[in-house]
Amino acid sequence: MFKRILQVGLTVLLLCNTALLVLLVGDRWNLFAQEETAAQTRRFRQVIEAVGARYVDPAAASPEKLTTSALSGMLTKLDTHSEFLDRKETAKVQDDLKSAFGGIGVQIELRDDRVVVIAPIAGTPGDRAGILRGDRIVAVDGRDLEAPVLRNAVDRLRGKPGTSVRVGLERTTGTSARNLELELVREIIKVETIRSVSLVAPEIGYIQVTQFTERTAGEFKEALETLEAQGIRALVIDLRNNPGGLLTAPVEMLSAFFRAGELVVYTQGREAASRSELRARGAGRKRTYPLAVLVNAGSASAAEIVTGALRDTRRAVVIGERTFGKGSVQTIIQLPDGEALRLTTARYFTPGGQVIHERGIEPDVALPVSAEDDRKLNIQRVRDDLATAEEFKARFEFEPIADRQLEAALDALRGVLVFSGPSTAAENPPAAAR
């Protein structure tokens, strides 16, 4: 009797161990996920076969067309930046990386299936024509945008430099919306990354950064040293309507203020091991003077990296509006037969761990400005060559308005300087300042 009980017990134990081994091996080799993928693939094939066999227009329901449409929809459903690229689109992406092209100079984004202007790039045709952040592009050359609308807009706005393009916009003011059409001439977009460098108040410098390119860090350093030679004790960095650009540029620019090896931003994908950190190189000198950063809803991407890093490390007070919220990483994954995926594989985080994407950076001092006032202020910053208010009004048909966000930044910095005393100047100033 005892022998039989022992045999049964050993059999049960063997079965349990075998089951556990199957579970472990299956999990290790991802067999269960493969079974789920196979089941969903069968489901997909059944739909394609049913549509291909019974849809009224057989030419529109070929297996290739149905599969391409399904893949495009699959990626688009993930987020607004992921997409499936067929052979033609993949070739175009690769060509764009190598070729020069003309455009109108606006950064755009897909929001709620609408093409929205993040910000016009300062000094470009879009900026000069009066395109505003928040404008929705609905048509190009009199034709409505077609799906996929973002790629369609990009393709149709680009063209040979010197050619004309008509851009149909929908603009919301308050509770009302109106349509307008602007005619622009395409240009090779050459961006002046540092637009304005000045002493805006005694001992307070001002630098406007319009976009981030490979030149930005060098130009910013030159501007900073110019102001330091004039004895600044505080600085305003204006990132309003800065749509971003090269994502390594903020790290290089912030090396002027950060210690060598200090974290500026990091990316994180789905796996813990995918974290990638971008750290400052350091400037070889210590700058401790107070900073103020101006931002608005047109501040995006690399501009948000700068803002988040300075705010999280308590080096700056942030003034203005919540930023745009564009902080994800897309990777091009090549497929057979010349096709590819553009897939979101990571998101950007501030040093304090705040995700930027679709949330933006909240200012310390919130001061919203209407799109119309933002347009006027942009003109004022660009056309500071007009000496008098009368001359300005005659040219642009409005009187200069106060920049409340800049005034708030100056008030904040003056307050810090009153309590901090003279020790806030940069240590080891350049020879020109000695």
**In which residue are the tokens 């048909």 written?**
397
Active site residues: 301, 312, 326
Domain ranges of the chain: 10-61, 70-99, 100-188, 194-427
Average pLDDT of the chain?
86
DSSP helix/strand/coil, 167: strand
Closest CA to 253 of 204, 316, 297: 316
The DSSP H or E segment spanning 251 is helix 249-254
Strand partners, 185: 164
Tell me the H-state helices in 383-420: 389-396, 404-420
pLDDT recorded at residue 424: 52
* Cβ within 8 Å of residue 23, ≥6 positions away: none
* 100-188 and 194-427 have identical folds: no
Q: One-letter amino acid identity for 5?
A: I
**Domain with residues 194-427, CATH architecture:** Alpha-Beta Complex (3.90)
Identify the band that residue 274 occupies on the pLDDT scale cut at 50, 70 and 90.
very high
CA pair distance 312, 317, nearest whole angstrom:
10
* Cβ within 8 Å of residue 378, ≥6 positions away: 122, 127, 241
**In which residue are the tokens 């900026």 written?**
127
Q: One-letter amino acid identity for 388?
A: T
DSSP helix/strand/coil, 57: coil
Task: State the fold for domain 100-188.
Answer: Pdz3 Domain (2.30.42)
By 3-state DSSP, what share of the chain in percent is helix, strand and coil, each rounded to 5?
40, 25, 35
pTM greater than 0.75: no
Residue-wise pLDDT tens digits, 277-286: 999 998 778 8
Residue-wise pLDDT tens digits, 108-160: 878 888 999 988 877 789 988 989 888 999 999 999 998 888 888 988 998 88
